[in-house]
Structure 1
Amino acid sequence: MRLVGRLLSVGIVIAAAVMVWPALQRQRELQERLLAEAERAESAPVPWPADPEPPADPPAAGDEADPAEREPRTYWRYVDAGGSIHFVESLERVPEAARDGAKPITLARESGQRAEPTADRAPAARRRPRAARPFERVASSPAPRRPAAAADVVVYTTSWCGWCRKTLAWLDARGVEYENRDIERRAAWRDELIEKTGSTSIPVVEIDGELVRGFDPARMDAML
């Protein structure tokens, strides 16, 4: 009887061992795998930290445009008794007789310095430097006639000016290469016209540095 009891005890122990052994085996394998991964992590090279990005250079003093330079400017356009067109910066500067017909025009200011404009009309050739004119020219000796393409011509206009259109048509009919600067499209061109003539009357044709005010075919023909 005692032998049977001992055999039963041994059988129970063996059965328990058989049931527990796979779990112990899996736990051991998991520990070995974790240990191997830890060893690989320790042996892996540590990446060198990247160099910090250099700080951005502060903008130069001349690079930042004055906000006032970018704000649009408003001018008043009026026609005087002689039919000439003028632009002024305030309504108070318009003569009382012409104030009823004065109209405000807003022009966007260009940031930075005056840029070299491109031609609006006929594709003009690259402009050559203007040669200095001799002071010893005698008024009675007429200037020699030159081919139209030899002259350096700039025309100051607006899109709605009838006399400006006549001037451009006259130049086109004679094959004259010119640069059309609409003073309502760029404030820099308007300022340029004021600098050269002291006013905003248009049209103005500049031929090799000499100015022709208004539509004057005879004088333009003599200068080209």
Structure 2
Amino acid sequence: MSVQEEINENTSISKLAVIVSQHLKANGIISVLSGGSVVTIYTDKNFYESNDLDFISPANHQKILEVMAQIGFVKAKSTHKHLTHPNTKIVVEFPTGPVNLGGAPIRYEHFDEHEIDGGKIRILSPTQSVMDRLLHYISTKDAQGLDQAREICERQMVNLSAIEKWSIKEAMASPEQHERIMKTCKEAIAKYNKSQKTNN
């Protein structure tokens, strides 16, 4: 089955992430999956369903467009940054990089490849995805970011110590925000640990 044939209305967002990431890699383009789609992948659609994939890449944008066209993705309009495909409603975007979680930019090669839906891709780790969502909460005071971080903590193993240090030193959370973040994450991690004991 060709890559083109693998993309259809039933292709999940995680599977499409693998297809796109591996196609980019095969053409010498490094990329990191970030944003809301990572939340969807780490929560198995139980909480938040994203319909777009955000890949951050240092590659020339014109080269990215040419490579993506090989598997049927084209710009929606000349004024739009997102790419669409006739066989899926999921759109693909390439936001300006580098990846930044509030502190110094993170080098692309420092992101590990994670096994997602039968393939390995560079993607924010669960801890980094929590930070990404919390950064949105801290900067905009939008509680949705905190809710998304909580859902990841309930379903994935995350590093609470790293989150605590990051919240104060890099994300510049206010004392009130930091307290709420730690309370939310601790409660969610306790749920995760309890579920792991039950499953084992």
Range class of TM-score, shorter chain: under 0.3
The structure with the largest alpha-carbon Rg is 1
After TM superposition, the score normalised by the length of structure 1 is 0.18
Q: Which has the higher helix share?
A: 2
